[in-house]
Amino acid sequence: MTYTMLMAFAVFIAVSSVTPGPNNLMLLSSSVNFGVRRTIPHCLGISAGMGLMIVLMSFGLHWVVQHAGWLIDLLKIASLAYLLWLAWKIASITPTPLSVQNEATPFGFWNAVLFQWINPKALIMVISMFSIYVPDNIGQLTLLQISLLAVVINLLCISVWMFGGTLMRRLFTTPATQRGFNIVMALLLIGSVIPMVSADLGI
């Protein structure tokens, strides 16, 4: 992989990671509702899940995806249903003083890892990575190195959304503003995935 290709790859991962999507919107919502400390496992789980997807792609899953397009469609349908449920959960979080938001439970590490498999943006990101930037004859060591690079870039980019919740947390100090924020986040979460799903399924 040439230096130019590597830089293009890094930019692709950064842009794909930092732009709005289910992961980032959920991190922002979690950070506002639960604080950064309780959101860190969720953040780490996202990057770990992406790393796991990359590793499995390198061991042949990419071939399966290329020859079984119906599998991606099935995953996208499942993701839409699951994200609708998550949006409802976010919208229905009971507004309480932020310092005592202990009853609800934020997304955990393993939940975030598994979620990547039904997250259309994450799937498209990893598939595009192999289709455009990773040559077929790439060595395993080089693949490991760029995979680690992708995980590090992804973690840095999504952390922006997690820490951004710290600033927004100061704005939503009343039950009314918390409720409004959660409803907006729920609607944005749905809106972030519908175009990707509907375009591919022809809905």
Tens digits of residue pLDDT in 4-25: 878 888 988 998 898 878 898 8
Domain that holds residue 123: 24-194
In a domain, 2, yes or no: no
In a domain, 53, yes or no: yes
Domains identified in the chain, total number: 1
- DSSP assignment of 31-78, as one string? HHHH-HHHHHHHHHHHHHHHHHHHHHIIIIIHHHHHH-HHHHHHHHHH
In a domain, 134, yes or no: yes
CA 162 to chain centre: 12
In a domain, 200, yes or no: no
What is the average pLDDT across 61-86? 67
In a domain, 18, yes or no: no
- pLDDT for residue 100 is more than 50: no
In a domain, 160, yes or no: yes
In a domain, 76, yes or no: yes
pTM metric for this prediction: 0.74
In a domain, 81, yes or no: yes
